[in-house]
Amino acid sequence: MNQINLFLAGDSTMATYDVKRAPQMGWGQVLDQYFNEQVKVWNEAMPGRSTKTFIQEGRQKRIYQLIRPDDYLFVQFGHNDSKVDSNRYTEPFTTYKENLGIFISNARDKGAFPVLLTPVQRRNFSINGKIVDKHGNYPLAMRDLAIELSVPLIDITKRSTIMLENIGPELSKHLYMWIKPGDYKYYPDGKEDNTHFTELGANKIAQLVIEGIKDLRLPIAKFIK
């Protein structure tokens, strides 16, 4: 059986980081360890990218050139599409959906399987321990598009919200880049980051993705360890 390639297109929450940036990791960086040798993960995610800049920089073109029939393309954007600057911003129900449509049509054109993933939730708790969503209409727009184009969708926004509320405000700090001064060379002054993950957090999100694959009964699920 031919090896299946799983391409990842997304932003900093999915990206791969150099060891000097430890303990920061994106969930795409650890995803390969959940599959057997039949699946090869190509993590093309890059920090700071929106659907708009990812396409403009030719990153989606690179995936299009490499992807083959029966491969997969997992697409997760939203964090940077909401940034109100001319370079990255997309409007949820128009340009955001249009750009996601390019990823979908490119994958299908090559006989591959596109899968949409709503953006990972930020660690942003209210005083009563509930997550305050900051993604606006981007998850909703992606859900709508998944229905319109019959694309499988893993709702990581919902899944990570439930996970974070179950873990709670304090323990969830271990999943994100809450670093004490002096603990890591790259962060001498420490850091309090509610968007990006430690190795533990990256694995927690990767596990939610794996659960989503199983729940959708995608054919690639049979290669999960």
Burial class (CB in 10 A: 0-12, 13-18, 19+), 47: middle
Residue 127, classed as helix, strand or coil, is: coil
Q: Which of 57, 105, 148, 192 is catalytic?
A: 192
The per-residue pLDDT for range 166-207, each reduced to its tens digit, is 999 999 999 999 999 989 988 999 999 999 999 999 999 999
Average pLDDT estimate for 27-44: 98
> Annotated catalytic residue: which of 50, 196, 199, 211?
196
If you average pLDDT over residues 88-94, what whole number do you get? 97
Closest listed residue to residue 167, CA positions, set 213, 112, 121:
121
The rounded percent of the chain whose pLDDT value lies above 70 is 100
Q: Which candidate in 12, 50, 160, 172 is catalytic?
A: 12
Average pLDDT, the chain: 96
Domain range list for the chain: 4-223
Residue 46 has pLDDT above 70, yes or no: yes
Q: Is residue 1 very low, low, confident or very high in pLDDT (cuts 50, 70, 90)? A: low
Tokens for 69, please give them.
Answer: 């029939």
Judge whether 192 counts as a catalytic residue.
yes
12 is catalytic: yes
Q: Which two tokens stand for residue 164?
A: 């974070």
Q: What pLDDT is recorded for position 210?
A: 98
pLDDT for the residue numbered 109:
98
Q: 108 vs 40, 61, 103, 141, CA distance in Å? A: 19, 14, 9, 20
**What CATH number belongs to 4-223?**
3.40.50.1110
* pLDDT band, residue 123 (cuts 50/70/90): very high
Question: Looking at this protein, which amino acid is placed at residue 35?
Answer: F
